[in-house]
Homo-oligomer: A and B are copies of this chain.
Amino acid sequence: MNPPELCRLSARTQRELVARGELSCEELLKVHLQWIEAVNPEVNAICTLVPEEALEQARAADKRLAGGAEARPLEGLPIAIKDLVNTRGIRTTYGSPLFRDHVPDTDALHVSRIRAAGGVVIGKTNTPEWGAGSQTFNTLFGATATPFDTTRTAGGSSGGAAAALAARMLPVADGSDLGGSLRNPAAFCNVVGFRPSPGRVADPARLQGWSPLPVLGPLARSVDDAALLLSVMAGVDQHDPLTLDTEPGYFETSLDSDPSGLRVAWSADLGFLPVARSIREVFEDSVGVFEALGCLLEEAAPDLRDGPDIFQTLRAHMFLARYADYFENLRDQIKDTVQWNTRKGLEQSVLDVAMAEVAHRALYRRVVEFWQRFDFLILPATQLPPFSKELDWVREIEGVQFENYLQWMEICTVISLTGCPAISVPGGFTAEGLPVGLQIVGPPRCDLEVLRLAHAFEQATGYAEREPDYQGLSEH
């Protein structure tokens, strides 16, 4: 079975049909709900569905439009919210059995912005327990597959979101990214995941207000649709001390641009990371695309060799802040990797943490210097293609063994440290037909510029248009 044509349209087109009165929000919702019913069992992307509530929202939107109101930016678009994010009246588990029946009283800020923009919240997208690790599985809902091979993981932690988009269950979805959680699943599912600059999407809920590591951002099937969702999610809120001044409408602009003459640094491995041969091959083709676009290419990267240690230390400290209480009192109800990460936070010394902060600051400075010489940096978004969803974390790439669940994703984690906006766009396919993500990184706060270059790459390649084999998804 193929998806209904409506589900294959871009978010902007779906919204345009609604705005022009050619499609009701109710119809758009129902078509999506039917298709979700057909493919979600195999993909397992949406873990909680609230069709009745969604129907009410869609009907309210139709009524609004019928009354002559102008269509809002996300008018009628079905969206599901990452299950790490609070949704008023909708079960929110954080992937943890401890929150199996947790129903928040309030929406996270960006959820309320999505609702206010006309988005129709239909449920929640699956995530690993507490969002930890770029593999979406948990004991409540099981594992989420990439629609391109349902024996393989969708990546994570925004895995449910990316898989739902790729399988045409949703036109846009939100996500979050501490060490790659918007970029990795986008890469594994052949969609777009954008990690904006810290503070671009104000997040009043962050537990450590001045950490630039956790950010919220959009996923979509095209850069243009990601920008649409970002234009709604972005904005100032003084409850977030890192909030960036962002003019209303800043992202409501054309992404068309001429990339010729841009100075683009490229690196397949940042000079020190193991990267699968299949990824390298596809990445090299991408470098050629930027050359064809007229960019000035040079193999170069900032020195991020101390990044993995810094990231591990700061992450463990963050896990300590978040989970010390659970670790002390409910240890057997948190998964082993979160236990390990929290224990690491307890066992490292205050000096380790202080020195990691200082080293982080020095790394940031080096990267700012790098931007004197380059406008962008391109990298693979993952170090290997999607792997078996039976595997909790990757133990080895190209002969390099890993000791913990974070090491296989360092091509994303160290970029998080830089404070730079970074996007994963569809970057081609391995010989096996598995999707590969291209990561584009730009200077701090140059979110729009990153979107523009990604858009140019997307237009030049058409990789984003490749769809999964729907027969394999819906026939089970």
Which A positions have Cβ atoms within 8 angstroms of B? 204, 206-212, 238-239, 241-242, 244-245, 317-318, 320-321, 324, 345-346, 348-351, 353-355, 357-358, 360-361, 364-365, 368, 371, 419, 443-445
Nearest first, the 8 closest Cβ-Cβ pairs linking A and B are: A321-B354, A209-B361, A210-B210, A320-B354, A208-B357, A245-B245, A238-B368, A239-B368
CB atoms of B241 and A444 under 8 A apart = yes
For A346, list chain B residues within 8 Å (CB): 350-351
For A212, list chain B residues within 8 Å (CB): 210, 241
CB atoms of A361 and B419 under 8 A apart = no
A324 and B351 in contact (CB under 8 A), knowing A208-B358, A209-B364, A239-B365? yes
For A317, list chain B residues within 8 Å (CB): 350, 353-354
Closest to A198 in B: B241
CB atoms of A419 and B354 under 8 A apart = no
Closest to A446 in B: B238
CB atoms of A241 and B419 under 8 A apart = yes
CB < 8 Å: which of B348, B350, B358, B443 contacts A348? B350
A40 nearest CB across to chain B (Å): 37
For A244, list chain B residues within 8 Å (CB): 245
Q: Can you list 21 pairs linking A and B with CB atoms under 8 Å apart? A: A204-B365, A207-B361, A209-B361, A209-B364, A210-B210, A238-B368, A239-B368, A241-B361, A241-B364, A317-B350, A320-B351, A320-B354, A321-B354, A321-B355, A321-B357, A345-B350, A346-B350, A346-B351, A348-B350, A349-B350, A353-B353
For A238, list chain B residues within 8 Å (CB): 368, 371, 443-445
Closest to A246 in B: B245
CB < 8 Å: which of B209, B353, B358 contacts A207? B358
Closest to A349 in B: B350
A358 and B241 in contact (CB under 8 A), knowing A345-B350, A364-B209? no
For A358, list chain B residues within 8 Å (CB): 207-208, 321
Closest to A365 in B: B239
For A204, list chain B residues within 8 Å (CB): 365
Cα(A265)–Cα(B92), bound, Å = 39
A416 nearest CB across to chain B (Å): 13
Cα(A155)–Cα(B133), bound, Å = 51
A286 nearest CB across to chain B (Å): 27
For A444, list chain B residues within 8 Å (CB): 238, 241
Cα(A361)–Cα(B240), bound, Å = 9
Cα(A238)–Cα(B371), bound, Å = 10
A371 nearest CB across to chain B (Å): 7
Besides the known contacts A204-B365, A208-B358, A209-B361, 17 further A-B residue pairs in the complex with CB atoms under 8 A apart: A207-B358, A208-B357, A208-B361, A210-B361, A238-B443, A238-B444, A238-B445, A239-B364, A241-B361, A317-B353, A317-B354, A321-B357, A321-B358, A324-B355, A346-B350, A348-B350, A353-B353
For A365, list chain B residues within 8 Å (CB): 204, 239
Cα(A210)–Cα(B204), bound, Å = 17
A231 nearest CB across to chain B (Å): 19
- Most B CB contacts (10 A, CB to CB) among A349, A357, A419, A445 go to A357
Cα(A455)–Cα(B315), bound, Å = 45
A314 nearest CB across to chain B (Å): 10
Cα(A408)–Cα(B242), bound, Å = 30
For A360, list chain B residues within 8 Å (CB): 209
For A445, list chain B residues within 8 Å (CB): 238
A236 nearest CB across to chain B (Å): 9
Cα(A242)–Cα(B243), bound, Å = 10
Cα(A321)–Cα(B357), bound, Å = 8
Cα(A335)–Cα(B426), bound, Å = 58
Cα(A346)–Cα(B358), bound, Å = 16
Cα(A208)–Cα(B209), bound, Å = 14
Closest to A238 in B: B368
Closest to A197 in B: B241
For A350, list chain B residues within 8 Å (CB): 317, 320, 345-346, 348-350, 353
